[in-house]
Structure 1
Amino acid sequence: MTLKLNRLILSGLIFILTITTLSAQNNKSKSYIISKSDSYTIDIRSNHPDIQLFSEEKKWIGDKDDNRVKGNRIDYTTAFEDITDVEAFSISPDKKKQKVKLIQTADVEIEDIFYHDMKYKYYYFDGLTEGSETYSSYKKLYRKPQFLDKFYFKDNLDCKNSRISLKISKDVEIGYLLHGDGTDKIAFTTSSEGNYNIYNWELKDSENEETFDSAPPISYYSPHLIFYIKSYKTNSGVQKVLGSVDDLYKFYFETTKDINKTSEVALKAKADELTKGLTKNLDKAKVVFDYVQESLNYVAFEDGMGGFIPREAADVFQKKYGDCKDIANLLNEMLNHVGIESHISWIGTRHNNYTYEEVPTPIVDNHMIAVANIDNDYYFLDATGNFSIFPNPSPFIQGKQALLKIDADHYKLLKVPVIAAQNNNTTAKIKFTLEGNAIKGNVDLALKGFVKSEFVGNYNSIVDKNELLKNYLSRFVDRISTSAITVSNNDLSEQSTTIKSDFKIDQWAKNIDGKLLLKPILFFPFSDSRIDAVKRNAPYQFDFKKSYDFNYEFELPEGYTPEFIPENFKLDTNLVSAAILYSQVGNKLMVSQTMTLNTILLNKSDFENWNAAIKSITKYYNQNIILAKK
């Protein structure tokens, strides 16, 4: 899914264990960062930017067993960066200095990437006790002016002082942007020193950046600085680097201008074979898309500029594997061959929330797709998944900008739509009767859109399909027992996947003084999704908008009539909508239950309204009907 792996790592020193790894709760003093700083110097040497970073960090140790203080890690890419002068030592409470014994180098482990040039240096401190201090520093040389790091002011420990300084030659013009929450607390100063402009950003007394379930990446909320070189002066004039989307596109175009020189006879013949007899471009696009998705295996190679340049479409077609840019390139070539206007396109996934206009650097994107113009409608085609359903985009590019390659001087920026909740729908028809204190019946589920893709991807790849189906149904009612489960349309068609099953739920009804009490609602979407608005600082992210339409048919037991039926319920907010409607038709109680998730991201300002809505919905989920003897 990557181009070159985007700059996802925090600048400066990175801990061997991720920031989600915490030591067990104890009464020991809290460790904290005394100071951390990144100091950049950018000069022009031999008519080219010379970019050097000196990074250092000091910590005070409270709990020596806290994994966050045991060691450090420095990530880098060998093709574009050099790490030198690594220094690390600890100082005991009685002022004894102890250098780290061993600084090692290892390959970064990244799922789904077969080969890459990303490495890290790491080391551990010895002899730490409460009151110890650690010191770490290194130098980094950047070979490509387009690939600079972000700087995150907060960290996985409280930090007394966090600072980034840029010492920039007056022959260099830079751009910069503060992003995330709380940037108003970051002090900014600028000054001049000889032939340099000096920029300083500083944050004092920050609390540690916690991680939370279902949170987007920290680029959404953790305060950080992005800076980039716009241009620099040389003996031959001003050289542009990354001052605008135009500049970024020119850089990207250079990486792709010489691709697809190998003969494409075989892939074109395959495209002709797939589309033979088809007259509509949408039909042609679907069969080509499905073929590429089903036939190719995702295998990524991230080696230097090879992480940015798509491989020859003919080679990818022959070998049947590639990464996102390779697969996008092949799909693009096949679509164009059968007469469909298509463009390879750079795009950032929802891993970040930048736009090309505000961050015109390679930080903004980490993915490539094909964008097809069919009957004046644009389709954002990502064939890197196994079960994406044409013509939907993949969930993780919804709402993002795509940068379409047109020619050397022209490009187009388009925004991927967020797929409507009604298109990602779960419909259920549930019929049940009462047997003693148990209910027994059958359910007929229909899944479409992303809901279908998610289910089919899991179902078709798992060995124990019956267990998966039982777990899928039991996520609605944990005490449900199922039998006679069948699945149909578990394919790449737009037709809904159907799941049919008989079920039984014991001890669902209560007999109190001859009257029967039971809940007519069996499925409870989002009933457990209230958010701790006090403790949680991060947004809450959903994969996609979705909707539920459940229709229940409860056959009343002989000799009983409803004494109490809950009132109808309806709620409509910009975050979530729901309705529960009751009616009686003869000896059957009919219940219509609908729910719609109207957003893919809850910001902290939404938490209170979200919790109020879920509380109200859950209250009506739990309403009982009362049946009395006639």
Structure 2
Amino acid sequence: MKLNTFNRIVWLCGFLAFTTVAFAQPADLSKELYKATGIADSLKENANAVIRYSSDEILIKGAGKAVLKHYKLVTILNDKADYEARFQIGYNRKYDVVNSIFMRVYNADGVLLKKYYKSDMYDGLAYDDATLVTDDRYLGIKHTIASYPITIETGYEEDLSSFLDLGSWNIQNSETSVQTSVCKVSADPSIGFRYSCKNVKLAPQKGNKDNLETYTWQVKNLKAEKPEDDVPEWCVAKRIAFAANQFQFMGIPGDFSSWQSYGKWQSALNADVCSLPEARAEEIRKMTADLKTDKEKAKFLYKYMQQNMRYVSIQLGIGGLKPFPATFVDQKKYGDCKALTNYMYALLKAVNIPSYYAEVNAGTNKEPADPAFPYDPFDHVILCLPLKGDTTWLECTSNRQPFGKLGPFTENRRALLVTENGGMLVNTPKSSMADNVFNSETHIALNEDGSAKATVKILSTGEYRDLYMEMKSNSNDDQKAFLIRSLKLKQPSVFDIKDGADENDVKEVDLALEYDKFYDMAAGDKQFYRPRVLDIWTAAIPSLEKRRSDFFFEHPLQKKCTTVIDVPAGYTVESLPVNVNLKFSYGNYDVTYAYDAAKNQVTSIANFNIINNRIPAAKYTEMQVYMDNVLKAQNKKLVIRRKAS
């Protein structure tokens, strides 16, 4: 992962009104704003917090030179907005100076309860479990809330001498209303300041002052909205993104007026680190000498990298954007996404296979880059191989990702190829339901007393494979809990898990289950069963009067569950669940049941498919009804009865 100046670890009382921007209290701020009683009822509706007043000022003095000032007064109505009482801001000691930091706490009547300053804050390294070393740090403090409502006042000022882009003004967060919020940008005309409105139409008041271009945005009395499930924040969050054509990042100037010009800047950063020494390159050529095609060689070298290198995050100096040399990775056997991708590039270069370093925004259903608004949304790097008639993408940080498969982490969005001619936005591939397959084969042996033994074989590909590969690193108890929850397994009395093979990118997991009582109910000579040990689909979709946003699954999917049930001797089938065939615009479900009297066996085959991971809001109700019917279909019972003597 790479971190740019503004997308570091940065929070101010949860989320900043400005992504990275405190200074003293505005002189004309009314004292009534500190009192919770002054909040209009309309702003309390659906709100956990109310922004009483916020002000963000950005002075862009030149490329890489900016002063950010932030002030915020927020009333917290309940514990769901406790994040607003946390102050955490990331910074870099070499290029950031943070001053005038304060946090003040007021009770419901506007009486000052507590003051915090910079000296009260924790100052630590900003890293996660995968980060080995970093230059990035953070300042943080948290106020413990005793009663509600409570008002938090925060502010600070940051002087920057390095930036790549200028982040965003986040206007409104989920379940938060806004009484008044103002953002003002003053920019040297020579840097080419730009902005782009996201999920909002809000024109600035433009002007000129002291030879600077000025832009001022203001919002008032924005009511809180109830959040909708399963929609990425970027699809709904009201914000205005900022950028500048001219930048300077950690001492290196650049041009961001186009994707092409930025790509040239990145290409220059990579130029002296993307080759292996000739002796090592010759060794690589010998390793692949018996392979005939470029694809065979690329697949071999990808597996070699996966088996010999490991991922760690390194954030030192320009290292947030510049890869460590390929020779470093070759010798040390580790690197971050930039270094490993660059190393794979160097391996391919050694055998004369061209490839492109590609920057991308990583994470499931993350925001794609905007072709019309060049800026830096990227936090990850992958590799693109323009093989003849078969463009192939490689995720270089995973030691188990199949060759040529990206998965939801980076698929179906725009990536910036760093080419010899500069940057070029291209679409990463989109997986189909056939790429993410879950297939289970279950055999259940029923006993006359209602007990049962069952075996389950799970075969999985794509994201399901990744899920079960990840699962095996957990404790046995955690694996059982995960399987019971995710598959809606009927709780067994004996539960054994066997980690099966992973061949041809198909992962096998085998389960052995025993039940003291498998039936749901017994009445007289009849027993009623759920005719399976797991459900093919488990998620209920809530009913809504009107869906505002598109609904997102993590990925398309294809599931099949085959179940064979041995009916106990002395029993026969009284009734089978009815066969069901359901469809909606983006998926289908069917299940069939058959009884073989000669074998005294019931066989069911269920299929469930989601064709596209993004469902338009207009199709939400259709999908909700469909999903509800799928769950109902799975609740139908198999009834067996004792044979007459």
SS of equivalent residue, structure 1 residue 395: coil
Seen in structure 2, the aligned counterparts of structure 1 residues 387 and 534 have a Cα distance that, compared at 3 Å, is farther
Cα separation, 2, equivalents of 1:433 and 1:65: 48
> Which one of 209, 217, 236 corresponds to residue 221 of structure 1?
236
Deviation at 1:152, TM superposition (A): 0.8
SS of equivalent residue, structure 1 residue 84: strand
Cα separation, 2, equivalents of 1:537 and 1:316: 47
> Which one of 392, 416, 422 corresponds to residue 428 of structure 2?
416
Seen in structure 2, the aligned counterparts of structure 1 residues 79 and 532 have a Cα distance that, compared at 3 Å, is farther
Cα separation, 1, equivalents of 2:479 and 2:74: 47
> Which one of 136, 146, 156 corresponds to residue 118 of structure 1?
136
Seen in structure 2, the aligned counterparts of structure 1 residues 273 and 444 have a Cα distance that, compared at 3 Å, is farther
Structure 1 residues 138-147 or 595-604, which shifts more?
A: 595-604
For residues 334-357 of structure 1, give each alpha carbon's deviation from its aligned partner in whole angstroms, at most 9, with x where no partner exists.
123234332221112136313241
Find the counterpart in structure 2 of residue 255 from structure 1: 269
For residues 172-208 of structure 1, give each alpha carbon's deviation from its aligned partner in whole angstroms, at most 9, with x where no partner exists.
432211224xx14x56433444634332222323456
Indicate conservation of the 8 Å contact 2:270/2:323, yes or no: yes
Cα separation, 2, equivalents of 1:383 and 1:256: 17
1:166 partner amino acid: V
Deviation at 1:585, TM superposition (A): 3.6
Deviation at 1:260, TM superposition (A): 3.4
RMSD: 3.7
Indicate conservation of the 8 Å contact 1:154/1:162, yes or no: no
Cα separation, 2, equivalents of 1:12 and 1:161: 20
Q: Give unmatched runs, 5+ long, in structure 2.
A: 17-38, 248-252
Find the counterpart in structure 2 of residue 316 from structure 1: 329
Find the counterpart in structure 2 of residue 147 from structure 1: 165
Deviation at 1:33, TM superposition (A): 2.5
Indicate conservation of the 8 Å contact 2:442/2:455, yes or no: yes
Seen in structure 2, the aligned counterparts of structure 1 residues 194 and 276 have a Cα distance that, compared at 3 Å, is closer
Seen in structure 2, the aligned counterparts of structure 1 residues 116 and 278 have a Cα distance that, compared at 3 Å, is same
SS of equivalent residue, structure 1 residue 455: helix
Please report the TM-score for the alignment, with normalisation by the length of structure 2. Answer: 0.82
1:195 partner amino acid: N
1:623 partner amino acid: K
Indicate conservation of the 8 Å contact 1:449/1:494, yes or no: no
Indicate conservation of the 8 Å contact 2:439/2:560, yes or no: yes
Cα separation, 2, equivalents of 1:65 and 1:554: 48
2:531 partner amino acid: P
Find the counterpart in structure 2 of residue 167 from structure 1: 186
Kindly report which structure 2 residues correspond to 1:172-191, keeping only aligned pairs within 5 A, or say none: 172-180=191-199, 183-184=200-201, 186=202, 188-191=204-207
Cα separation, 2, equivalents of 1:594 and 1:588: 20
> Which one of 522, 525, 529 corresponds to residue 536 of structure 2?
525
Cα separation, 1, equivalents of 2:582 and 2:349: 47
Cα separation, 2, equivalents of 1:126 and 1:567: 57
Seen in structure 2, the aligned counterparts of structure 1 residues 516 and 261 have a Cα distance that, compared at 3 Å, is closer
Kindly report which structure 2 residues correspond to 1:308-457, keeping only aligned pairs within 5 A, or say none: 308-350=321-363, 352-362=366-376, 364-407=377-420, 409-435=421-447, 436-457=449-470
Find the counterpart in structure 2 of residue 566 from structure 1: 577
Give identity over the alignment, percent: 17
Find the counterpart in structure 2 of residue 201 from structure 1: 217
Find the counterpart in structure 2 of residue 618 from structure 1: 631
Counterpart check, 1:81 vs 2:96: yes
Seen in structure 2, the aligned counterparts of structure 1 residues 308 and 561 have a Cα distance that, compared at 3 Å, is same
Deviation at 1:300, TM superposition (A): 1.2
Seen in structure 2, the aligned counterparts of structure 1 residues 261 and 284 have a Cα distance that, compared at 3 Å, is closer
> Which one of 580, 584, 602 corresponds to residue 595 of structure 2?
584
Indicate conservation of the 8 Å contact 1:64/1:128, yes or no: no
Cα separation, 1, equivalents of 2:604 and 2:150: 65
Cα separation, 2, equivalents of 1:360 and 1:12: 25
Deviation at 1:367, TM superposition (A): 0.8
Cα separation, 1, equivalents of 2:57 and 2:373: 21
Cα separation, 2, equivalents of 1:318 and 1:378: 30
Indicate conservation of the 8 Å contact 1:100/1:124, yes or no: no
Seen in structure 2, the aligned counterparts of structure 1 residues 531 and 606 have a Cα distance that, compared at 3 Å, is farther
Indicate conservation of the 8 Å contact 2:5/2:163, yes or no: no
Counterpart check, 1:515 vs 2:530: no
For residues 276-334 of structure 1, give each alpha carbon's deviation from its aligned partner in whole angstroms, at most 9, with x where no partner exists.
42223333222211221222121111123111111111111110011001000111111
Indicate conservation of the 8 Å contact 2:58/2:69, yes or no: yes
Please report the TM-score for the alignment, with normalisation by the length of structure 1. Answer: 0.84
Cα separation, 1, equivalents of 2:106 and 2:521: 68
Find the counterpart in structure 2 of residue 38 from structure 1: 56
Indicate conservation of the 8 Å contact 2:288/2:297, yes or no: yes
Find the counterpart in structure 2 of residue 57 from structure 1: 72
Cα separation, 2, equivalents of 1:465 and 1:360: 48
For residues 137-159 of structure 1, give each alpha carbon's deviation from its aligned partner in whole angstroms, at most 9, with x where no partner exists.
22222323523121211247543
Deviation at 1:474, TM superposition (A): 6.8
Indicate conservation of the 8 Å contact 1:13/1:57, yes or no: no
SS of equivalent residue, structure 2 residue 371: coil
Cα separation, 1, equivalents of 2:105 and 2:455: 66
Structure 1 residues 125-134 or 513-522, which shifts more?
A: 125-134
Cα separation, 2, equivalents of 1:11 and 1:581: 53
Seen in structure 2, the aligned counterparts of structure 1 residues 65 and 12 have a Cα distance that, compared at 3 Å, is closer
1:164 partner amino acid: C
Indicate conservation of the 8 Å contact 1:313/1:329, yes or no: yes
Kindly report which structure 2 residues correspond to 1:290-309, keeping only aligned pairs within 5 A, or say none: 290-309=303-322
Seen in structure 2, the aligned counterparts of structure 1 residues 410 and 584 have a Cα distance that, compared at 3 Å, is same
> Which one of 501, 504, 510 corresponds to residue 514 of structure 2?
504
SS of equivalent residue, structure 2 residue 406: coil
Q: Give unmatched runs, 5+ long, in structure 1.
A: 18-27, 233-238
SS of equivalent residue, structure 2 residue 12: coil
Seen in structure 2, the aligned counterparts of structure 1 residues 526 and 257 have a Cα distance that, compared at 3 Å, is same
